[in-house]
Amino acid sequence: MRADDKPAPSSKDSSQRIPIKNVKIHGDRKKDRERYKPGDQIYVRRNQGFFQRLRQRMNMVYFAIFLVLPWLQFNGHQAVLFDIAEQRFTLWSLTLWPQDLTLLAWIFILSAFLLFFVTTFMGRVWCGYMCPQTVWTFIFIWFEERIEGTANQRRKLDKQPMSANKFIRKFLKHSAWLIFSLFTAMTFAGYFAPMQELFVNVFTFNTSATMAAILAFFTFATYGNAGWMRETVCMHMCPYARFQSAMFDKDTLTVAYDKERGESRGARGRKQDHKAMGLGDCIDCNLCVEVCPTGIDIRNGLQYECINCGSCVDACSGVMEKMNYPQGLIRYTTEHELAGKKVHLVRSKLIGYAVVLLIMCTMVVLEVVNRVPLTLDIIRDRTELAKENFNGEIENVYTLKILNMSQTDNTYRLSVKGIENTQWHGKQEVMVEAATVYTLPISISVDPYELKGYMTDIHFVVEQISGDEEVKVEQESRFFNKR
């Protein structure tokens, strides 16, 4: 029953009825859904403007960093190398080992809270300006435009039956995608294997089967994600798209359509008085939809598919300029601003994230400053805890593993304390190469009159004697007496 057909409520049940209110739908959403169905091919229209220039320049910087970093050398080694086989991560002068798991955890936590802070303040800008999926998608679209033409030309080409022209263009496009994907995979693998050696092995067909499988996997993953799936990854596979709303509030900067100013939509001439026609500023040109990389209509309100790339903002600003209307019909704004309320840029949630970020940064700095690039592991001889040697002394056997976590060769002096008049049998000065483990078998003997009981606590000390840096570690162990 429609609202205007309902009978007048009786006094008996009027208090139990829910009032019906007509809701005006802005735009034809059914038409929009039919035009842009999930899974349909999206032909992203080329667009220019301030935010697109900003995005392109940021993408160029990030892509250049991605390409250059694995080629850089520092002190005779690759500056950035995550060597999983050797279980060490090299970052310039810092080498991280499994023993540095705490530092890695702090770095990951810091990165997460930085993302939360940025999302709360500026919305999903990570997706629009910095996410590798977005960067590579726009690179692949650039190949499309150079080979197949504009969005309308690509749409017409796909509708045509197969011909020599269509086959050649499709072949060139997919070949360019695959070559670029292989180059991406090789660069990415260069973060986990020596870059120069990797490129030589690939181009001389001398790479291992494992590396070949890794390169093949990442090549087709890049080709599939940026070439075929594109917005599907952002909308249905990326978890960030789903939980980002938990960080949004009504003061978060997002791309939004000013409904009060834009409605009602409709076409009009440039010289016509649209106010007299009962129209808003939106001319319903659909450019905001055609330039959107995820194919949504921003005029339907805030949607989780929006990646805040600002493409629709630039498209709408260009139309407003041509129509001599004020810009900002679609803009970066907040819900409070659109509602005419005061915007609170500094708020409790943002302050909370900032405080946590400060704490995380402090913890990371302290972890790096207090980090000692040397570890000592002590392994006792399990076959015989203690024995009596030819001199009548009690002797314990140990294996010392000295890990030099620095990037320079160092010499260390070893000693033991905790028992008086000990005899050290083995080397007491050793040179350990950079980023290697030195295994040293030694034994300690003591006059039995120096021992107070069956077991005595002792400490092994390793002290660096080369270079200007003072590095010293102690490790506790036990010395056993014969029963």
CB atoms within 10 A of CB 360: 19
Record the tokens describing residue 477, joined without a space. Answer: 């162990």
Tens-place pLDDT, residues 237-269: 888 877 777 788 889 999 999 999 998 999 988
Record the tokens describing residue 307, joined without a space. Answer: 């990646």
Per-residue pLDDT of the chain (483 residues; tens, 9 = 90+): 444 454 554 444 444 555 554 444 444 544 444 444 545 688 999 999 999 999 999 999 999 999 999 999 988 889 999 988 888 888 888 888 887 888 888 888 888 888 888 888 888 888 889 899 999 999 999 999 999 999 999 999 999 999 999 999 999 999 999 999 999 999 999 999 999 899 999 988 888 999 999 999 999 999 999 999 998 888 888 888 777 777 888 899 999 999 999 989 999 888 888 888 999 999 999 999 999 998 899 999 888 888 899 999 999 999 999 999 999 999 999 999 988 888 888 888 889 889 989 998 988 888 888 888 899 999 988 888 888 888 889 999 999 999 998 888 899 999 999 888 899 999 999 999 988 899 999 999 999 888 888 888 999 999 999 877 889 999 999 999 887
Tell me which DSSP letter residue 41 carries. Answer: P
CA distance 410 to 430: 8
Tell me which DSSP letter residue 228 carries. Answer: I
What is the model's pTM?
0.78
Q: What is the pLDDT of residue 12?
A: 47
Q: What are the angstrom distances between the C-alpha of 4 and each of 13, 16, 20, 24, 41?
A: 19, 19, 9, 15, 42
Tens-place pLDDT, residues 374-398: 999 999 888 888 888 888 899 999 9
Q: What is the pLDDT of residue 407?
A: 83
DSSP collapsed to 3 states, 90-152: EECCEEECHHHHHHHHHHHHHHHHHHHHHHHHHCCHHHHHHCHHHHHHHHHHHHHHHHHCCHH
CA distance 477 to 458: 5
Domain boundaries, the chain: 43-96+131-229, 374-480
The correct CATH number of 374-480 out of 3.30.200.20, 2.60.40.10, 3.40.50.12280, 1.10.3260.10 is 2.60.40.10
CA distance 89 to 84: 8
Tens-place pLDDT, residues 35-64: 445 456 889 999 999 999 999 999 999 999
